[in-house]
Structure 1
Amino acid sequence: MSQLPSSFDGAERDVNDMPFYEKMIFHCKQQPLVPLGTLATTVAVILAAQNVRSGNKRKAQKYFRWRVGLQGATLLALVAGSFIYGKSKQDRQSQDELLREKAKLREKLWIQELERRDQETQQRKLRAELARAKTLELEQESQKLQAGEGRGK
């Protein structure tokens, strides 16, 4: 099968093929609220732990409540982002399928064009060969006529 056009060369790399650091950045760009929520939840846990150590139970309780709220918000952001990103991924896949079908159609049309050109070339060769044969035939007839005129003189 022939090589597909170069419009497919710049395709996005697969996430599974990326190194860990690039994969982490990719996912953070896809769902920026999740890492922020995780960071905020971690800060709330650290502050709660510090207040438990220092004996300030009221502040510790307040930070633990913040942790629960932030954890819930992070989970909500994760689910919402997955839903939104999942939809866009499906859209992107359907667009990729359309592009593939378009490329197949272009390839099919190009093959048909090449076949048509090949037929035209073969027909031209056939016409040229017939013309050569006709020319050769006419030359032979003219030589016969010239030979016949040479005898008659």
Structure 2
Amino acid sequence: MSHIPSSFDNADQDVDNMTFYEKMIYHCKQQPLVPLGTLATTVAVILAAQNVRSGNKRKAQKYFRWRVGLQGATLVALVAGSFIYGTSQKERKSKEDELREKAKLRENLWIQELERRDQETQQRKLRAELARAKAQALKTESENLQLEIEKLASKAASGSDKRA
């Protein structure tokens, strides 16, 4: 499966950490008209130089005019691309800020949820402790009542023995 290069490849990689070749590819992907204009200008200069050597002044003049026009078009493409890319860079930064804010909001919501769960756990533990204390009190009370019943039963049994 072939990989089609994209202008978003290495988007998060810092330009300062790139090699010269990587920087060249990165900038050519950002503004493709600039290298094309540079190449066309170079071709016009080469053709003009060939015609100057061969003595054909009319063609040489025509190619020099093309060179000036192509150089101007390249400059316009460079300025326009810088303006457009600068705007998209600001938008990208604002989107990154927005994503950071969303992440921070999610983090805060998660912290609030954890705190709420912790409070619920503490309340459950408190209720369980109170229920255990109440159960222990009821158990102690039932044991005391059981002892009283046994005492009364033994008194009743000893009282019936005395009567008999």
Question: TM-score, normalised on structure 1?
Answer: 0.87
Q: Find out whether 1:138 has 2:138 as its counterpart.
A: yes
State how far apart, in whole Å, the 1-side matches of 2:121 and 2:17 are.
47
Alignment correspondent of 2:59: 59
State how far apart, in whole Å, the 1-side matches of 2:20 and 2:122 are.
58
Alignment correspondent of 1:116: 116
Matched residue type, 1:40: A
Q: Please, which runs of 5 or more residues in structure 1 have no aligned partner?
A: 1-10
Higher relative contact order (CA 8 A, sep 6+): 1
Q: Which has the larger radius of gyration?
A: 2
State how far apart, in whole Å, the 2-side matches of 1:35 and 1:94 are.
29
State how far apart, in whole Å, the 2-side matches of 1:65 and 1:97 are.
48
Aligned residues: 144
Q: Find out whether 1:89 has 2:97 as its counterpart.
A: no
State how far apart, in whole Å, the 1-side matches of 2:151 and 2:96 are.
82
State how far apart, in whole Å, the 2-side matches of 1:57 and 1:38 are.
24
How do 1:3-82 residues align onto structure 2 when only pairs under 5 Å count?
12-82=12-82
> Residues 78-103 of structure 1, C-alpha deviation per residue, up to 9 Å, x if partnerless?
00111111111111111111111111
Q: Please, which runs of 5 or more residues in structure 2 have no aligned partner?
A: 1-10, 154-164
Alignment correspondent of 1:100: 100
Aligned-residue sequence identity (percent) comes to: 78
1:133 to partner: Cα distance = 0.8
Matched residue type, 2:12: E
State how far apart, in whole Å, the 2-side matches of 1:31 and 1:82 are.
8
1:59 to partner: Cα distance = 1.5
1:19 to partner: Cα distance = 3.2
Deviates more, 1:111-120 or 1:58-67: 58-67
State how far apart, in whole Å, the 2-side matches of 1:40 and 1:84 are.
23
> Residues 84-130 of structure 1, C-alpha deviation per residue, up to 9 Å, x if partnerless?
11111111111111111111111111101110100100110111011
